[in-house]
Amino acid sequence: MNKPPYPHPLIAREGWPFVAGVVLISVLVSFWSGWISIPFWLLSIFVVQFFRDPGRVAPDGEFNVLSPADGRIVTVEQVRDVYADRDALKISVFMNVFNVHSNRSPVKGDVQSVTYFPGKFFNASLDKASLENERNATVLRTSHGHVVTAVQVAGLVAKRILCYTLPGQTLYAGQRYGFIRFGSRVDVYLPVGSRPRVAIGDKVSATSTVLAELPEQADVAA
């Protein structure tokens, strides 16, 4: 079993200012009125749960493709991967506001490119969100030559995509590499011939759920 390389605190570092701010306001309002402070404390609980960042352990398997996010599967289909210019199997994970929003690398591989695309903010569960919403695409190449594309997609209320990796870096499978605030999706494009291990409607967990298995022979034309 692989240990997570990222030292996961209870609360994601992206949430520290938000948690500190809402808790401080709740405390101050409590001194004024206990009843009026109740909605602020409820908001504090919501903010804390949104920015929770649990550590995860990846299952064994050198050809496993791990879920990059917590959420629900909304797409499993053959499409064109416009980011790596190839046909691909696309698996999409939709995150609602109650899911963990820390994003993890689906495979171990070298980062080939990281590209940001400005766009709209449609509901992330819609198919058109993949190519019309604001998004950030990271293309990886594994040691076996497989190309895997992970695309962070903003949603209806998600207004901030954070990506911490750069071309030339190597990511571990399950390594934390980004975060999206508030409600969104991650699309994963895999080589044709990959075997899905999930179906539409399945609930998945970042790092610990296997989305698919890569073919043992990489497509050299990818």
- Same domain membership, residue 79 and residue 49: no
Give the residue numbers spanning the domain of 68: 64-213
- Same domain membership, residue 200 and residue 161: yes
Q: Is the separation of the CB atoms in 184 and 153 below 8 Å? A: yes
- Same domain membership, residue 133 and residue 172: yes
The total of other beta-carbon atoms located within 10 Å of residue 24's CB is 12
Q: Is residue 162 part of a domain?
A: yes
pTM of the model: 0.85
Q: Does 194 participate in catalysis according to the annotation? A: no
Q: Is residue 17 part of a domain?
A: yes
- Same domain membership, residue 131 and residue 159: yes
Phi, psi of 198 (to 5 degrees): -135, 165
pLDDT digits (tens, 9 = 90+) for 66-119: 999 999 999 999 999 999 999 999 999 998 888 888 899 999 999 999 999 887
CATH label of the domain that carries residue 84: 2.70.70.10
Which residues in the chain show pLDDT less than 70?
Answer: 1-9, 122-126, 129, 156-159, 182-183, 218-222
How many domains is the chain built from?
A: 2
Helix %, strand %, coil % for the chain, to 5? 20, 40, 45
Q: Which of 26, 92, 105, 184 is catalytic?
A: 184
Q: How far apart are CA 133 and CA 131, in angstroms?
A: 6
Q: How far apart are CA 69 and CA 104, in angstroms?
A: 6
Q: Is residue 219 part of a domain?
A: no
